[in-house]
Amino acid sequence: MAHRILTGIKPTGQLTLGNYLGVLKHLPKIQNDGESFIFIADLHALTLPIEPNDLKQNSIDIAAFYLAAGLDPNKATLFLQSSVSTHAELNAIMQNYLYMGELSRMTQFKDKSSKMNQNSIGLGLFAYPVLMACDIILYDADIVPVGEDQVQHVELTRDLVNRFNNRYGETLVLPKAVMQKVGARIMSLSDPNKKMSKSDPKGDIYLKDDLKTIRKKIMSAVTDMGDEIKYDQVNKPGISNLLTIYACCKDLTIQEAENQFKECHRYGDFKKAVADAVCDELEPFQKRYQEIIENKSYIDVLKQGAIKAKKVADATLIKVKKKVGLLDVE
């Protein structure tokens, strides 16, 4: 059977180089591996406080970034999660098949909620993986391209699918998280032991940063003791992260990237090469983004995408409703 591919990015803030190297950059290639559904997870962005205007602008940005990265609306279906109400409907059913114990063990929930006032943690943040599972299930997706931090949520989706299928008979497709070999976890430039994340601005490179700022950020990235350019996550997390960024921008393996810097014993020279690689990669991408923002081509793409997505999603919802015994009198 042909593959069904699904992935999403939530419009919680400005996209980072981590989002780009972990997922965005690879989507144009992935879209040829099967039928792709690529969306803006705007309902998910509401799980933490966000200004309405920021949410709108971030959503537009993600749409434009998808297109700038090279997603072809004739091949992939691009849409806003909130335009397809079926996500919320399936969520109402599926929340009964994931357990509070499971949800409370999710790393993302533990990380995000630990930074909050314990009396004002929204239910949506806790129940986040239920909605994410619905996103995946609705499109019969078997391939879910994500960065490393999202693998746990896809694993939980697999548990849900197995639980549902065991209870009601084969109904839902079992998904699999697919990560890039290089780039699945880009780390912060100021603390290479922490993930680069758009909700934690320290050590981030934003896709909208101008090239001068990007250079400056890379040149001042935290590095490690010694002068060797070697991949060693434990003893050289800073250099390893920069090597990963370089390899990913140049489409090299880590080994190939390392070989290029065998003779280099000056971190400054190495950082300059990394900055060049990132700027070479992002310059044309930023130009395309700017054009798309100006011509607003994303509006029609999202409209058409929602219509296509809804058809597929509704068919799954009908199947699920039947299986669980919801009476259909339409």
Sites of contact with ligand ATP (CB under 6 A): 9-10, 12-13, 18-19, 22-23, 146-147, 149-150, 184-186, 195-199
Buried b (16+ CB within 10 A) or exposed e, 187-196: bbbbebeebb
Please spell the DSSP secondary structure of 232-252, one letter per residue. BTTTBHHHHHHHHHHHHHHT-
Residue 185 binds which entry of ligand ATP, ligand LTN, none, CB below 5-8 Å type-dependent: ligand ATP
- Distances in Å between the Cα of 143 and the Cα atoms of 2, 287, 307, 311 are 11, 30, 22, 20
* CB count in 10 Å sphere of residue 33: 14
Q: Which does 132 bind (CB under 5 to 8 A by kind): ligand ATP, ligand LTN, none?
A: ligand LTN
136 binds, among ligand ATP, ligand LTN, none (CB under 5 to 8 A by kind): ligand LTN
Distance CA 273, CA 105 (A): 41
| 14, 198 Cβ separation under 8 angstroms | yes
Nearer Cβ to ligand LTN (55/254): 55
Query: Taking the complex as a whole, how short is the minimal distance between the CB of residue 144 and ligand LTN, in angstroms?
Result: 5
Closer by beta carbon to ligand ATP, 127 or else 320: 127
Which candidate in 198, 217, 271, 310 is catalytic? 198
56, 75, 115, 195: which is the annotated catalytic residue? 195
In the residue annotation, 216 being an active-site residue is answered as no
The smaller minimum CB distance to ligand LTN, of residues 105 and 216, is found at 105
Helices 267-295, 237-250: inter-axial angle, 10-degree rounding: 50
CB closer to ligand ATP, 4 vs 10: 10
- Is 198 a known active-site residue? yes
Return the closest-CA partner of residue 260 out of 238, 276, 284, 237.
276
State phi, psi for 4 to the nearest 5 degrees: -115, 130
Judge whether 196 and 206 are in contact, CB under 8 Å.
Answer: no
Token reading at 263: 């003779």
**By C-beta, is 18 or 237 nearer to ligand LTN?**
18
List residues near ligand LTN by CB under 6 A: 6-8, 10, 41, 44, 132, 135-136, 144, 146, 150, 153
To the nearest whole angstrom, how small is the minimum distance from the Cβ of residue 138 to ligand ATP? 18
- What residues are annotated to the active site? 112, 195, 198
